[in-house]
Amino acid sequence: MSAIPEIRPGQSIELLKALHILTRDGKLNQDSRRKLKQVHHLCHFIEPLLAEIAASGSSLTLVDHGAGKSYLGFLLYDLFFSHRDQGHIYGVESRAELVEHARSLAGRLAFTRMSFLNLRVENAIESPDLPARVDIVTALHACDTATDDAIRFALHKQAKFIVLVPCCQAEVASVLRRRKGESLAQTPLSELWRHPIHTREFGSQLTNALRCLQLEAQGYQLTVTELVGWEHSLKNELIIARHTGVTRSNATTRLEQILQQLNLDELRARFIY
């Protein structure tokens, strides 16, 4: 098995087979290789954050929103949590069948400090099954508005770190599209999203820029980078937010100006608290 360079030393082969990353005979196909590389890259960014929190003596809690099949949670548990006697991972997922499957797999592997909750991300803040404060919030390709809901959850839970690979930035694009006529009459900047393909692409970039300003306004320091090569995933932007308590002084003002100038005032409540 060591001949497969994507598999890290000591990694659970049983887990990789259960996640269908490895075939029953221990092989790795091209699609699984891409998937494993992507999640391992994300683990590479998250593990130092976990080590920093563990060294501080914190109880070490991580909540993964829009967990899906919980690839990220299971691999993090296997690579980091299983070697320590502290820490807990919570997977939040709205599809009941995926939650049941994850619970069953965690039981079979004796991953005792993993919990899976059948919740929409937007409802997780009020759930009594989640702790009042958490250390790390992650959202890997969480769909619809789940990335924004994960940010709101993280802010409410005073997370030390937030790690996002944003997806489905359709809300901003839909407002740009709906109000395009008004915008064309108001500002030449509307040429940036006049054509449908540009509406989608500009909406996506704009959404992430607004999210970054939102986090900076709440006292987070940001790193925005690429997760893996673009040949592996088109949804490839990685946002890592570290809470410092120091707000960017003009972040809220910039947010308000952008929303006003681009005719997006109706989204104010999503990005400005």
pLDDT in tens, 124-134: 999 999 999 99
What is the third-level CATH fold of 9-165? Answer: Rossmann fold (3.40.50)
198: exposed, middle or buried (Cβ count in 10 Å: 0-12, 13-18, 19+): middle
Instruction: State the chain's mean pLDDT as an integer.
Output: 90
> pLDDT confidence of 39, banded at 50, 70, 90?
confident
Taking the C-alpha atoms of residue 144 and residue 33, their distance in angstroms, rounded to an integer, is: 26
The predicted pLDDT at position 4 comes to 63
The predicted pLDDT at position 231 comes to 44
pLDDT digits (tens, 9 = 90+) for 233-247: 456 789 999 999 999
Tell whether the model's pLDDT for residue 105 goes beyond 60.
Answer: yes
Task: Look at 9-13, 118-122, 210-214 and tell me which has the smallest mean pLDDT.
Answer: 9-13
Kindly provide the b/e burial profile for residues 66-101, where b requires at least 16 CB atoms within 10 angstroms of the residue's own CB.
bbbbbbbbbbbbbbbbbeeeebbbbbbbbeeebbeb
pTM for this model (two decimals): 0.92
The predicted pLDDT at position 163 comes to 96
Q: Which residues contact 190 (CB under 8 A, 6 or more apart)?
A: 180, 183, 184
The predicted pLDDT at position 264 comes to 95
The predicted pLDDT at position 34 comes to 81
Residue 109 half-sphere exposure toward CB, CA atoms < 13 A: 23
pLDDT digits (tens, 9 = 90+) for 176-228: 999 999 999 999 999 999 999 999 999 989 999 999 999 999 999 999 998 86
Tell whether the model's pLDDT for residue 252 goes beyond 90.
Answer: yes
Tell whether the model's pLDDT for residue 1 goes beyond 60.
Answer: no
pLDDT digits (tens, 9 = 90+) for 63-80: 999 999 999 999 999 999
Domain with CATH 3.40.50.150 in the chain: 9-165
The predicted pLDDT at position 226 comes to 86
What is the signed CA dihedral for 246, 80, 117, 17, rounded to 10 degrees?
140
